[in-house]
Structure 1
Amino acid sequence: MTPTEPHSTETDRDGAESDDDTRVWLVERTYSDDELNLIILVYATEDGSRYHRRERALTSFTGPARETKAGLCVSSDALGTVDDPATRDRYATEARRMAEQHDPDDAV
């Protein structure tokens, strides 16, 4: 994968879109390879060209406040670019599937 890293924060808006927000869909959930017990969530646009990455401690997945949502609205400055064509295609396929099967606020 050859994405360009975006600025990522946990304070990105998960709710209503504004003019500067972009809808992204969950396309990948992986465990970190290090000892920090992190879950890495990757969200992407439906065309697969842009992505947003979040890292969460495994212990933060308890309770409804920490549900993983099917879709998010994030600021355009919190999006990176996916340069690898195979990754872009994979992200696009999964983002479109999530958009067809889920509402953005669905817990997945």
Structure 2
Amino acid sequence: MDANSPEAGTERDGVRMWLVERTYSDDEQNMVILTYATPDGDRYFRKERALTSFSDIRDTTAAVDAAPSNVGTVDDPDDRERYAAEAARMANAHDPDDVI
């Protein structure tokens, strides 16, 4: 298996997740919520990031390897389908470490 393939990474190493959604929090100013999902759309990982200043540079990559203990299950079938489609698009268009 290629290290860049969507399935790369084991449960021990982490679960390969692809960026599927970037939203801005309505509740808190300057909060970005990044949602990553598995290529099948069944599991997700959320990362919240505070934007404290313009000089606060933290890259957002096309994929992350999330600890299995931090991964949730996508219950909504529509979300699962949408996440799977976007994860596949990202995996086909980008290397995991590409900055998005």
Aligned to 2:27: 34
Percent of matched pairs sharing the same residue:
59
Q: Deviations over 1:26-51 (max 9, x none)?
A: 00000001133200000000000000
Aligned to 2:74: 82
1:45 aligned to 2:38?
Answer: yes
Aligned to 1:56, what secondary structure does the other structure show? strand
Aligned to 1:59, what secondary structure does the other structure show? coil
Distance of aligned partners of 1:22 and 1:35 in 2 relative to their CA distance in 1, 3 Å threshold? closer
Aligned to 2:15: 22
1:105 aligned to 2:93?
Answer: no
More helix by share: 1
- Which of residues 47, 51, 54 is equivalent to 2:47? 54
Count of aligned residue pairs for this structure pair: 91
- Tell me, in whole angstroms, the C-alpha distance in 2 between the residues paired with 1:60 and 1:81: 33
- Which of residues 52, 61, 68 is equivalent to 1:69? 61
TM-score relative to the length of structure 2: 0.83
* Alignment gaps of 5+ in structure 2: 1-7
- Tell me, in whole angstroms, the C-alpha distance in 2 between the residues paired with 1:91 and 1:33: 22
TM-score relative to the length of structure 1: 0.77
Letter in 2 for 1:25: W
The structure with higher relative contact order (CA 8 Å, sep 6+) is 1
